[in-house]
């Protein structure tokens, strides 16, 4: 392996940890990158900026009717989707599959189960349909719980919602649990979602590499160094 290849592999190994945007781990990654750039003779600088963040403090989902099928499921909460009242939000249950218009027309005031993560377009359709809350399905029905995680999802401010306060509170549920839920034929259910929203700090790292022969020209390369949850090293696909 060439010296450059060794250095690249060492950098991948040094960044082999979860480093979501605005987290202490992302700041640690930034320091590692700056140090590596200094070590090859460059003079990097950083541009800091604020980003909206959230912390889910409580998330739960349960079937409340029929009482004979009372069930509780493990869920995660959608960041920036808002909060239910502390005691929760109880409403009729509806399965709207992929958010087809014909099903949304029946979803007013309901808690809706979705096959998919809602796109901004679908989210706005749910708002227009007066959907009370939503639960999206994560993963595949044959996922092994011992080796897979339930996704941690968030809505995008400016695309899904206009502010960090959110709109329709949402949860994420495993596909296996969603199948059990549908088999129970629920009529009513309750969701609880409580979260705190705040601003954190992230940073761009900038370094100039002088070229030769075409000093009046600039070539710009960019890449992200944060990661999605549960991701490591170079295989993060964000």
pLDDT of 234 reads 65
Cα dihedral 125, 128, 132, 134 in deg (nearest 10): 10
Average pLDDT in the chain = 90
Give the pLDDT confidence of 167-198 residue by residue, as tens digits.
899 999 999 999 999 999 999 999 999 999 99
* Domain range summary for the chain, segments of one domain joined by +: 3-44+207-235, 53-198
Name the residue among 185, 197, 226 with its Cα closest to residue 27: 226
Terminal Cα distance for the chain, rounded: 28
CB atoms closer than 10 angstroms to residue 55: 11
53-198 architecture in CATH?
A: 3-Layer(bba) Sandwich (3.50)
By percentage, how much of the chain surpasses pLDDT 90? 63
What is residue 236's predicted lDDT score, i.e. its pLDDT?
A: 61
Average pLDDT over residues 205-222: 86
Q: What average pLDDT does the segment 72-92 reach?
A: 95
Averaged pLDDT, 211-234: 82
- Residue 49 near residue 199, CB atoms below 8 Å: no
What's the rounded Cα separation, in Å, for the pair 221 and 102?
A: 46
């Amino acid at each position: 392996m060439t010296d450059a290849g060794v250095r690249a592999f060492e950098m991948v190994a040094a960044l082999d940890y979860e480093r979501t945007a605005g987290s202490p781990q992302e700041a640690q990654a930034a320091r590692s990158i700056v140090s590596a750039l200094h070590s090859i003779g460059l003079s990097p600088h950083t541009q800091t900026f604020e980003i909206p963040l959230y912390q889910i403090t409580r998330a739960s989902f349960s079937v409340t009717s029929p009482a004979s099928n009372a069930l509780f499921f493990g869920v995660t909460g959608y960041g920036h989707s808002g909060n239910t009242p502390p005691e929760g939000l109880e409403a009729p249950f509806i399965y709207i599959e992929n958010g087809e218009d014909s099903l949304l027309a029946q979803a007013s005031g309901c808690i809706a189960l979705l096959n998919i993560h809602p796109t901004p377009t679908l989210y706005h359709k749910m708002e227009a349909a007066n959907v009370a809350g939503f639960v999206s399905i994560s993963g595949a029905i044959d996922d092994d719980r011992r080796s897979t995680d339930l996704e941690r999802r968030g809505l995008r401010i400016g695309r899904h919602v206009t502010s960090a306060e959110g709109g329709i509170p949402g949860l994420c549920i495993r596909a296996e649990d969603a199948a059990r839920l549908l088999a129970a034929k629920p009529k009513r259910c309750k969701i609880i979602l409580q979260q705190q929203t705040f601003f954190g700090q992230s940073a761009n790292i900038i370094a100039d590499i002088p070229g030769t022969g075409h000093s009046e020209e600039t070539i710009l390369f960019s890449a992200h160094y944060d990661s999605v949850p549960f991701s490591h090293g170079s295989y993060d696909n964000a």
